[in-house]
Amino acid sequence: MKRFASKAALVTGAAAGIGKATATRLAAEGADLYLADINREGVEALAAELAKEHGVKAFAGSFDAADAESCKQLVAAAAEALGRLDLVCNIAGIQKWDHFAQITDDTWNRLVAINLNSVFFISREAMPLLEQTRGNIINVASVAGLTGIAYNAAYCASKAGVIGLTRSVAVEYASRGVRCNAIAPGGVKAGQAANPIPEDVDFGLITPLSPKTGDMCEPEEIAAAVAYLGSEEARFVTGSVFTIDGGQLAS
Protein backbone atom coordinates (compact mmCIF):
# COMPACT_ATOMS: atom_id res chain seq x y z
CA MET A 1 0.00 0.00 0.00
CA LYS A 2 1.05 3.59 -0.62
CA ARG A 3 -1.16 5.32 1.92
CA PHE A 4 1.36 8.13 2.40
CA ALA A 5 2.21 9.02 -1.19
CA SER A 6 2.57 12.83 -1.41
CA LYS A 7 2.56 13.04 2.41
CA ALA A 8 5.36 14.33 4.63
CA ALA A 9 6.19 12.99 8.08
CA LEU A 10 8.47 13.99 10.94
CA VAL A 11 9.71 11.04 13.01
CA THR A 12 11.69 11.52 16.21
CA GLY A 13 13.80 8.82 17.81
CA ALA A 14 14.35 7.48 14.30
CA ALA A 15 17.86 6.06 14.69
CA ALA A 16 16.75 2.84 16.38
CA GLY A 17 13.88 0.77 17.75
CA ILE A 18 10.30 1.91 17.21
CA GLY A 19 11.38 5.14 15.54
CA LYS A 20 13.52 3.37 12.96
CA ALA A 21 10.81 0.78 12.28
CA THR A 22 8.23 3.55 11.87
CA ALA A 23 10.40 5.51 9.45
CA THR A 24 10.97 2.36 7.42
CA ARG A 25 7.25 1.55 7.30
CA LEU A 26 6.22 5.07 6.32
CA ALA A 27 8.85 5.21 3.57
CA ALA A 28 7.64 1.87 2.22
CA GLU A 29 4.18 3.43 2.01
CA GLY A 30 5.43 6.45 0.10
CA ALA A 31 5.99 9.14 2.74
CA ASP A 32 8.68 11.78 2.45
CA LEU A 33 10.48 11.95 5.76
CA TYR A 34 12.43 14.10 8.15
CA LEU A 35 14.20 11.80 10.59
CA ALA A 36 15.44 13.18 13.90
CA ASP A 37 17.50 11.74 16.69
CA ILE A 38 20.36 12.71 18.97
CA ASN A 39 22.32 10.09 16.98
CA ARG A 40 22.91 12.09 13.81
CA GLU A 41 24.98 9.41 12.08
CA GLY A 42 22.23 6.87 12.65
CA VAL A 43 19.47 8.94 11.08
CA GLU A 44 21.66 10.10 8.21
CA ALA A 45 22.44 6.49 7.32
CA LEU A 46 18.78 5.51 7.57
CA ALA A 47 17.64 8.48 5.46
CA ALA A 48 20.07 7.57 2.69
CA GLU A 49 18.97 3.93 2.82
CA LEU A 50 15.25 4.72 2.68
CA ALA A 51 15.60 7.28 -0.10
CA LYS A 52 17.51 4.77 -2.21
CA GLU A 53 15.25 1.81 -1.48
CA HIS A 54 11.85 3.49 -1.74
CA GLY A 55 12.45 6.54 -3.92
CA VAL A 56 11.18 8.99 -1.30
CA LYS A 57 12.69 12.21 -0.06
CA ALA A 58 14.38 11.57 3.26
CA PHE A 59 16.17 14.20 5.33
CA ALA A 60 17.94 13.79 8.64
CA GLY A 61 18.85 16.05 11.52
CA SER A 62 20.11 15.74 15.06
CA PHE A 63 18.15 17.14 17.96
CA ASP A 64 18.13 16.96 21.72
CA ALA A 65 14.69 15.98 22.99
CA ALA A 66 15.61 17.30 26.45
CA ASP A 67 16.10 20.82 25.10
CA ALA A 68 13.07 22.99 24.31
CA GLU A 69 14.85 25.18 21.76
CA SER A 70 16.18 22.13 19.93
CA CYS A 71 12.63 20.77 19.65
CA LYS A 72 11.37 24.04 18.22
CA GLN A 73 14.22 24.25 15.72
CA LEU A 74 13.55 20.69 14.64
CA VAL A 75 10.03 21.49 13.47
CA ALA A 76 11.27 24.52 11.56
CA ALA A 77 13.99 22.43 9.88
CA ALA A 78 11.51 19.69 8.94
CA ALA A 79 9.04 22.18 7.50
CA GLU A 80 11.75 23.87 5.45
CA ALA A 81 13.09 20.57 4.10
CA LEU A 82 9.74 18.95 3.34
CA GLY A 83 7.66 22.00 2.49
CA ARG A 84 4.71 20.67 4.50
CA LEU A 85 3.85 18.41 7.42
CA ASP A 86 1.07 15.82 7.38
CA LEU A 87 2.20 13.57 10.21
CA VAL A 88 4.23 14.06 13.37
CA CYS A 89 5.41 10.93 15.15
CA ASN A 90 6.71 11.70 18.63
CA ILE A 91 8.67 8.54 19.39
CA ALA A 92 11.89 9.68 21.10
CA GLY A 93 11.89 8.56 24.73
CA ILE A 94 13.87 6.98 27.53
CA GLN A 95 13.16 4.75 30.52
CA LYS A 96 15.14 4.23 33.71
CA TRP A 97 14.37 1.71 36.44
CA ASP A 98 14.91 3.14 39.93
CA HIS A 99 13.74 2.69 43.48
CA PHE A 100 11.39 5.63 44.04
CA ALA A 101 13.38 7.13 46.92
CA GLN A 102 16.56 6.93 44.84
CA ILE A 103 15.30 8.87 41.84
CA THR A 104 17.54 11.92 41.52
CA ASP A 105 16.42 15.37 40.48
CA ASP A 106 18.41 14.99 37.27
CA THR A 107 16.79 11.65 36.43
CA TRP A 108 13.29 12.99 37.04
CA ASN A 109 13.86 16.16 35.06
CA ARG A 110 15.49 14.32 32.17
CA LEU A 111 12.72 11.74 31.80
CA VAL A 112 10.01 14.39 31.94
CA ALA A 113 11.89 16.61 29.49
CA ILE A 114 12.48 13.89 26.91
CA ASN A 115 9.28 11.88 27.27
CA LEU A 116 6.73 14.64 27.86
CA ASN A 117 8.10 18.13 27.29
CA SER A 118 9.47 17.29 23.84
CA VAL A 119 6.05 16.00 22.78
CA PHE A 120 4.50 19.29 23.88
CA PHE A 121 7.06 21.55 22.20
CA ILE A 122 7.16 19.63 18.92
CA SER A 123 3.37 19.29 18.71
CA ARG A 124 2.79 22.95 19.53
CA GLU A 125 5.25 24.14 16.91
CA ALA A 126 3.87 21.75 14.30
CA MET A 127 0.20 22.52 14.86
CA PRO A 128 -0.13 25.47 12.43
CA LEU A 129 1.40 23.30 9.70
CA LEU A 130 -0.87 20.36 10.53
CA GLU A 131 -3.92 22.60 10.39
CA GLN A 132 -2.96 23.50 6.84
CA THR A 133 -2.80 19.85 5.75
CA ARG A 134 -5.48 18.48 8.10
CA GLY A 135 -2.74 16.23 9.38
CA ASN A 136 -2.28 14.33 12.60
CA ILE A 137 0.00 13.58 15.53
CA ILE A 138 0.89 10.16 16.89
CA ASN A 139 2.55 10.04 20.28
CA VAL A 140 4.22 6.91 21.60
CA ALA A 141 3.17 6.62 25.23
CA SER A 142 3.31 3.34 27.17
CA VAL A 143 1.18 1.01 29.25
CA ALA A 144 3.20 2.62 32.06
CA GLY A 145 1.06 5.70 31.49
CA LEU A 146 -2.09 3.68 32.17
CA THR A 147 -1.08 1.70 35.25
CA GLY A 148 1.44 1.78 38.06
CA ILE A 149 4.69 -0.06 37.41
CA ALA A 150 7.00 -0.45 40.38
CA TYR A 151 10.44 1.18 40.12
CA ASN A 152 9.20 3.34 37.22
CA ALA A 153 7.66 6.39 38.91
CA ALA A 154 9.31 8.98 36.66
CA TYR A 155 8.59 7.00 33.51
CA CYS A 156 4.98 6.31 34.49
CA ALA A 157 4.39 9.98 35.29
CA SER A 158 5.88 11.18 32.02
CA LYS A 159 3.91 8.73 29.90
CA ALA A 160 0.67 9.46 31.75
CA GLY A 161 1.33 13.08 30.86
CA VAL A 162 1.68 12.15 27.19
CA ILE A 163 -1.72 10.44 27.30
CA GLY A 164 -3.36 13.45 28.94
CA LEU A 165 -1.76 15.79 26.42
CA THR A 166 -2.89 13.59 23.54
CA ARG A 167 -6.52 13.56 24.66
CA SER A 168 -6.61 17.29 25.31
CA VAL A 169 -5.18 18.15 21.89
CA ALA A 170 -7.56 15.69 20.22
CA VAL A 171 -10.60 17.38 21.74
CA GLU A 172 -9.41 20.91 21.00
CA TYR A 173 -8.47 20.29 17.38
CA ALA A 174 -11.05 17.74 16.22
CA SER A 175 -13.23 20.42 14.63
CA ARG A 176 -10.15 21.89 12.93
CA GLY A 177 -9.35 18.65 11.16
CA VAL A 178 -6.25 17.65 13.11
CA ARG A 179 -6.24 14.25 14.81
CA CYS A 180 -4.07 13.27 17.76
CA ASN A 181 -3.65 9.70 19.04
CA ALA A 182 -1.30 7.77 21.28
CA ILE A 183 0.06 4.26 21.13
CA ALA A 184 0.75 2.55 24.45
CA PRO A 185 3.15 -0.34 23.91
CA GLY A 186 3.94 -2.89 26.56
CA GLY A 187 7.20 -4.81 26.39
CA VAL A 188 9.04 -4.09 23.13
CA LYS A 189 12.21 -5.75 21.87
CA ALA A 190 14.20 -2.53 21.79
CA GLY A 191 16.61 -0.86 24.19
CA GLN A 192 16.56 -3.39 27.03
CA ALA A 193 20.35 -3.65 27.25
CA ALA A 194 20.66 0.07 27.94
CA ASN A 195 18.01 -0.02 30.66
CA PRO A 196 18.74 -2.87 33.10
CA ILE A 197 16.48 -3.63 36.05
CA PRO A 198 18.32 -3.23 39.38
CA GLU A 199 19.12 -6.53 41.06
CA ASP A 200 17.67 -5.55 44.44
CA VAL A 201 14.02 -5.20 43.38
CA ASP A 202 10.97 -7.25 44.27
CA PHE A 203 10.31 -9.03 40.98
CA GLY A 204 6.94 -10.10 42.37
CA LEU A 205 5.81 -6.52 41.82
CA ILE A 206 6.91 -6.57 38.18
CA THR A 207 6.17 -10.01 36.75
CA PRO A 208 2.35 -9.78 36.97
CA LEU A 209 2.56 -7.09 34.28
CA SER A 210 4.40 -9.33 31.82
CA PRO A 211 2.73 -9.90 28.43
CA LYS A 212 0.22 -12.72 28.69
CA THR A 213 1.35 -13.93 25.28
CA GLY A 214 4.74 -14.88 26.74
CA ASP A 215 6.73 -12.73 24.34
CA MET A 216 7.48 -9.08 23.71
CA CYS A 217 6.40 -7.00 20.75
CA GLU A 218 8.58 -6.29 17.73
CA PRO A 219 9.16 -2.61 16.85
CA GLU A 220 7.68 -3.29 13.42
CA GLU A 221 4.36 -4.19 15.04
CA ILE A 222 4.22 -0.76 16.67
CA ALA A 223 5.16 0.81 13.34
CA ALA A 224 2.20 -0.93 11.69
CA ALA A 225 -0.14 0.73 14.18
CA VAL A 226 1.47 4.12 13.52
CA ALA A 227 0.90 3.64 9.81
CA TYR A 228 -2.77 2.83 10.37
CA LEU A 229 -3.43 5.71 12.77
CA GLY A 230 -1.62 8.16 10.52
CA SER A 231 -3.56 7.16 7.42
CA GLU A 232 -6.94 8.17 6.05
CA GLU A 233 -8.27 4.77 7.09
CA ALA A 234 -8.25 6.10 10.65
CA ARG A 235 -9.94 9.41 9.79
CA PHE A 236 -12.52 8.89 12.57
CA VAL A 237 -9.95 7.96 15.22
CA THR A 238 -8.77 10.75 17.49
CA GLY A 239 -8.07 10.92 21.21
CA SER A 240 -7.47 7.17 21.20
CA VAL A 241 -4.90 5.33 23.30
CA PHE A 242 -4.07 2.22 21.33
CA THR A 243 -2.57 -0.44 23.62
CA ILE A 244 -0.25 -3.02 22.08
CA ASP A 245 0.77 -5.01 25.11
CA GLY A 246 0.13 -8.74 24.67
CA GLY A 247 -2.65 -8.56 27.24
CA GLN A 248 -0.56 -6.91 29.97
CA LEU A 249 -3.46 -4.72 31.11
CA ALA A 250 -6.22 -7.23 30.45
CA SER A 251 -6.30 -8.56 33.97
> What does the alpha-carbon distance between residue 211 and residue 246 come to, in Å, rounded to a whole number?
5
Residues 34, 151, 155, 173: which is the catalytic one? 155
SS3 203: helix
151: annotated active-site residue: no
DSSP string for 16-76: SHHHHHHHHHHHHTT-EEEEEES-HHHHHHHHHHHHHHH---EEEEE--TT-HHHHHHHHH
Sheet with strand 32-37: strands edge to edge: 58-62, 32-37, 8-12, 87-90, 136-140, 179-185, 241-244
> What does the alpha-carbon distance between residue 76 and residue 36 come to, in Å, rounded to a whole number?
12
Q: Which residues pair with 8 in a beta bridge?
A: 32
> What does the alpha-carbon distance between residue 251 and residue 249 come to, in Å, rounded to a whole number?
6
* Residues designated as active site: 155
